[in-house]
Structure 1
Amino acid sequence: MWRDESTTWQVAHRPLAALAGLLARVDAVHGLYYLLMHAVFALWDGGLWALRLPSVAGAALAAAGVAAVAHRLAGERAALLAGTAYALLPPVQAYAQEGRSYALVTAAVVWATHLMLRERWAAYAAVLLLGCWLHEFAVLALFAHAPAARRSPGWRWSAAAVVAGLAPLALLSAGQARAQLGWLGRPSWQDWAAYGVLAAVVLLLARGAAERDLADLARVAVPLALLPPGLLMTVSLVHPWYVDRYVLYALVGPALLVGARLARARGWWPWLLAAVLLVPLGWWSAWLRTPESRKDDVLAVAAAVRERARPGDAVLFMPSRRREWLLSSPTAYAGLRDVALDRSPAASNTLHGTELPPERIRTALLDSPRVIALLDPQGQPLDPYPTEAAKREALATTFERCSLTTVRGARVVVYARPGGCD
């Protein structure tokens, strides 16, 4: 479990009243997903299995949806190949095994696409709106659907209904965006390069679609692959909101094109190329199932704390948002004194709680013989806030370091007053 999944776990375990209080202040964009996970844990508090099972189901539904769209536009053989291609994509596999909303959002978008092709406009609006309430950037799929909808009056009314239904969430989350997405920067050159590679592959696969009787499929697949990420990256030049997982559903486009082209392939070379590509895909797939594929490992952090902590030790999170590392392991957290904490996450309607002023943190640390400090990996930028500076100063001037344990994405450091390490 990494820290984003830990957020899902600890927020979904809050009482409904506390969950509503949190969403009024922060993370409203994930509100429906947290409510879903609250219901899952109420039915079965099965730890990581329960946390991730909805995402597994979402990825399976999305793969089935890709096959359904391909079947309608290119036939049965293309359906089997497109659904398989989608399931083999490493990013799809990554979010199929993660307790966040992105696999479910993709399932909603792809089934809305299928309903659009069948001109079931009421169902289309309902399913796409569900996807938007799971994550509001699913609304970018409307731009991708416009070319295939061919300005149908039914689609226009459905699109208007989706926008109107999303408006309350959009207004609420817009007020939270600065605090919510303040960690994001503008798209990097690597982001633009990755988008360029995606665009080149998609356009190459779509080349000659009309001659292969695939014009209708290309009209669906190409905009779905290119418009949502392209629009979000462009907007992020002004408002930095782009993260690739926010538009995971764009991968439906290349999967449709790959399945259709393989189904129409003549000769052996396309199949040889596909077989060759399975080698790096297999390696990537195996790597995604290791802790190294995540930024950190909150359960490993909690285990390291349990091994080193003594009853009554102080615990210090540097920076404060790393409190997340122990919030999903309440047994490890309960025996420690969180000396910087003012109000708990639940009491303050926040994700990670609120902390005391710098002077009170310094005083609390001076009254502590031993401190377990949880820090980011070496080389990460230090937060410049006064509370974080007070923590660093108190540890540097009053304590000596007893031990340093490095785990995935974190450092667990034991400090004691001079002479107290033994």
Structure 2
Amino acid sequence: MTRLTALLARRVEIPLLAVLAIVIVVIGIDTPSIWYDEAATIVSATRTWPELWAMLHTVDAVHGLYYAFMHVWFDLVGYSPFTLRLPSAIISGGTVALTMLLASRFGTRGFALLAGVVLITIPRFTWAGTEGRSYALTALLAAAMTLLLMRALDAARAPSTRWAAVWPWLAYAGVGLFSVGIFVYLSLVVVAHAVTVVVLTMSGTLNRRQLFAFGRTVVPLGIVCIPFVLIVAGQSGQLAWIDPISQRTLTGILITQFAPNNAPFAIFTWIVVLVGITTFIVARRSSTTRARAARYLVAWVLPWLVVPTVVLVLTSVLITPLYSPRYLTFLMPALAVAIAGGIVGLGRLTRLAARLARGPFANRMRSVPWTALASVAGVLVLALLTQPSYESQRTTGAKQKSSWSQAAWRVGEVASALPADSDPAVVFGSVAWHPTATARVVEYSYPWAFESLDDVALEKPVGSLPRLWETSRPVDTPMLEGHDTVILVSSGRDREVNERAIEAAGFTESDSWSYPNLWVKLYTR
């Protein structure tokens, strides 16, 4: 810890850029409406500990450790859309810092700074920072695991003491175990690390002692994780929404995985990465130092980018669909380093072309700092291309076109305008795209809007059963007796059924409001 503190004190740009990343992500973080996945976090993390433990035996064990973390967080600060997403924003800053430390292993101080700035421009990264889910944390943990493995391999080469050779591997195993508990897909980072270690051993960069040390750590780690993986596999039915592999998967890999709905950003990124690969090929034929550095970077970054995607796609084809672009958010640190390498490579290729120039401007061309210019130009282009994504991530309907915040605001406004002696009821119908839940998710997300309303159809509330959501009864006349006002919140799937039931109880529609995929209707006697 002391060594890390001293490093950050010397490299002041690391904490400064991390804080800047947090500020960039936090801006407008509570503007988007809560959506289904975040509602799952809310109803899970706000249960009692026994209720959460019971639920995890039947569903969402894969997110159990994250729910436990958020449970503690809500106990400290309370729940609101802002506090739900704030941990992800703070974690994003930490990911920037770790990515810069990681990039320092491959290049100069300027290269590390470039990688950190590039990471902030990646749309998937800024998206993860606004999610009340574990995606931002997976990116941080992937970077941390990679740094710890590098440290462990260095220690295994020539350890000063036995403890100095052991503790980095214990740290790597501990963080690896925690990472799998946070999100089981992070086990694929360990698989990518295995590929890296084998490649570096075959190339002579690592020796057999380092290879065996890695094996002695990873094999027990895998054995310890097997029971948890089996539990998660037993709940795989909750992933039934994932589409089978199709032509759309290619779009997911090339675009959605890191730049949702932003093809220009993706195209530019792929061009830059291909330039980086070209630079690597050129570097192999140039100076030994540059060839070694390029080979080292590619050996670490390429498996991290490729192996998890390939494994998930193959598993989806051969066994069951598991591939979802957002589940690979933990690739973003590697992508940032790869993009930074491509930008630097573009500068080096330009400088090489300038050296071959002839004519009156040849000397002037050779004196231009092409690498620095390429870095500035690359960052400016990335910032320009990511702007539409950044702005769209801070609109009300940014998350699955959710309009829950608008509906909740309307309900709160209607409820507050009712007479003080009224006894209004609320009925929740369906919610778009999610047949196992109801529009009651709006209440979980914005509870203050529903405090004065009587939820007449609720049968078993959240937490009373070992399942994610509550159970409800169909609306009928007896349950509406004693109420003079009813507010219906529903999507279009079963709205008419509830409307007929409410009207059959003697109510008449007096007002209605339509939002994307959601309706709010007011009924009075």
| 2:243 pairs with 1:191 | no
Are 1:316 and 1:371, in contact at CA under 8 Å, matched by a contact in 2?
no
Partners in 1 of 2:450 and 2:250 — Cα distance?
A: 41
Match 2:120 to one of 59, 74, 87 = 87
Once the 2 structures are TM-superposed, how far is the Cα of residue 391 of structure 1 from its aligned partner?
Answer: 4.0
Partners in 1 of 2:414 and 2:296 — Cα distance?
A: 62
Once the 2 structures are TM-superposed, how far is the Cα of residue 273 of structure 1 from its aligned partner?
Answer: 4.5
1:272-421 → structure 2 map (5 Å cutoff): 272-295=377-400, 296-309=402-415, 311-319=423-431, 320-356=437-473, 358=474, 361-362=475-476, 364=478, 367=481, 370-376=485-491, 382=493, 391=498, 394=501, 401-407=509-515, 409-415=517-523, 420=525
Structure number with greater Rg is: 2
1:110-145 CA distance string (max 9 Å, x none): 110111122232211211221211111111112221
Once the 2 structures are TM-superposed, how far is the Cα of residue 215 of structure 1 from its aligned partner?
Answer: 1.2
Give me the TM-score of the superposition, normalised by structure 1. 0.85
Aligned to 2:6: none
- Rate the CA distance shift 1:329–1:261 in 2: closer, same or farther, 3 A: closer
| 2:304 pairs with 1:245 | no
Identity of aligned residues (%): 26
Partners in 1 of 2:329 and 2:388 — Cα distance?
A: 21
Structure 2: stretches of 5+ with no match in the other structure: 1-32, 153-167, 202-210, 256-265, 284-289, 349-369, 432-436
Partners in 2 of 1:390 and 1:405 — Cα distance?
A: 18
Partners in 2 of 1:186 and 1:251 — Cα distance?
A: 24
Partners in 1 of 2:463 and 2:385 — Cα distance?
A: 44
Partners in 2 of 1:340 and 1:234 — Cα distance?
A: 45
Once the 2 structures are TM-superposed, how far is the Cα of residue 390 of structure 1 from its aligned partner?
Answer: 5.5
**What letter matches 1:343 in structure 2?**
K
Are 1:65 and 1:107, in contact at CA under 8 Å, matched by a contact in 2?
yes
Range with greater deviation from structure 2 (223-232 or 406-415): 406-415
1:114-129 → structure 2 map (5 Å cutoff): 114-119=147-152, 120-129=168-177
- Rate the CA distance shift 1:239–1:89 in 2: closer, same or farther, 3 A: same
Are 1:316 and 1:339, in contact at CA under 8 Å, matched by a contact in 2?
no
1:76-155 → structure 2 map (5 Å cutoff): 76-119=109-152, 120-150=168-198, 152-155=211-214
Match 2:97 to one of 59, 64, 67 = 64
SS at match of 1:158: helix
Are 2:490 and 2:520, in contact at CA under 8 Å, matched by a contact in 1?
yes
SS at match of 1:345: coil
SS at match of 1:293: coil
**What letter matches 1:240 in structure 2?**
P
Partners in 2 of 1:62 and 1:164 — Cα distance?
A: 28
Give me the TM-score of the superposition, normalised by structure 2. 0.70
Match 1:73 to one of 90, 106, 116 = 106
- Rate the CA distance shift 1:50–1:270 in 2: closer, same or farther, 3 A: closer
**What letter matches 1:314 in structure 2?**
V
Structure 1: stretches of 5+ with no match in the other structure: none
SS at match of 1:107: helix
Are 2:121 and 2:382, in contact at CA under 8 Å, matched by a contact in 1?
no
Range with greater deviation from structure 2 (129-138 or 331-340): 331-340
- Rate the CA distance shift 1:301–1:188 in 2: closer, same or farther, 3 A: farther
Once the 2 structures are TM-superposed, how far is the Cα of residue 104 of structure 1 from its aligned partner?
Answer: 0.9
Range with greater deviation from structure 2 (148-157 or 251-260): 148-157
**What letter matches 2:213 in structure 1?**
G
- Rate the CA distance shift 1:280–1:196 in 2: closer, same or farther, 3 A: closer
Aligned to 1:209: 280
Partners in 2 of 1:28 and 1:389 — Cα distance?
A: 36
- Rate the CA distance shift 1:160–1:370 in 2: closer, same or farther, 3 A: farther
1:151-210 CA distance string (max 9 Å, x none): 7222223322332333232222222221x2233322453331241467955455323325
- Rate the CA distance shift 1:342–1:389 in 2: closer, same or farther, 3 A: farther
Are 2:392 and 2:398, in contact at CA under 8 Å, matched by a contact in 1?
yes
Partners in 2 of 1:204 and 1:246 — Cα distance?
A: 27
Once the 2 structures are TM-superposed, how far is the Cα of residue 389 of structure 1 from its aligned partner?
Answer: 8.8
Are 1:81 and 1:260, in contact at CA under 8 Å, matched by a contact in 2?
no
- Rate the CA distance shift 1:321–1:173 in 2: closer, same or farther, 3 A: farther
- Rate the CA distance shift 1:364–1:154 in 2: closer, same or farther, 3 A: farther
- Rate the CA distance shift 1:269–1:78 in 2: closer, same or farther, 3 A: closer
**What letter matches 1:61 in structure 2?**
G
Are 1:71 and 1:79, in contact at CA under 8 Å, matched by a contact in 2?
yes
| 2:225 pairs with 1:166 | yes
1:268-321 CA distance string (max 9 Å, x none): 456434423321212322322222322214333222112234533231221443
Are 2:192 and 2:308, in contact at CA under 8 Å, matched by a contact in 1?
yes
Partners in 2 of 1:91 and 1:51 — Cα distance?
A: 18
Partners in 2 of 1:244 and 1:60 — Cα distance?
A: 22
Once the 2 structures are TM-superposed, how far is the Cα of residue 344 of structure 1 from its aligned partner?
Answer: 0.4
- Rate the CA distance shift 1:165–1:86 in 2: closer, same or farther, 3 A: farther
Partners in 1 of 2:391 and 2:189 — Cα distance?
A: 31
Q: CA RMSD in A?
A: 2.8
Once the 2 structures are TM-superposed, how far is the Cα of residue 363 of structure 1 from its aligned partner?
Answer: 5.0
Runs of 4+ in 1 over 6 A off after TM superposition: 396-399
Partners in 2 of 1:69 and 1:247 — Cα distance?
A: 19
| 2:378 pairs with 1:260 | no
Aligned to 2:314: 234
Once the 2 structures are TM-superposed, how far is the Cα of residue 47 of structure 1 from its aligned partner?
Answer: 2.9
Once the 2 structures are TM-superposed, how far is the Cα of residue 219 of structure 1 from its aligned partner?
Answer: 1.3
**What letter matches 1:172 in structure 2?**
I
SS at match of 2:464: helix
**What letter matches 2:38 in structure 1?**
E
- Rate the CA distance shift 1:366–1:57 in 2: closer, same or farther, 3 A: closer
Partners in 1 of 2:461 and 2:117 — Cα distance?
A: 45
- Rate the CA distance shift 1:292–1:393 in 2: closer, same or farther, 3 A: same
Match 2:42 to one of 2, 9, 20 = 9
Match 1:219 to one of 286, 295, 299 = 299
Partners in 1 of 2:503 and 2:302 — Cα distance?
A: 56
**What letter matches 2:501 in structure 1?**
A
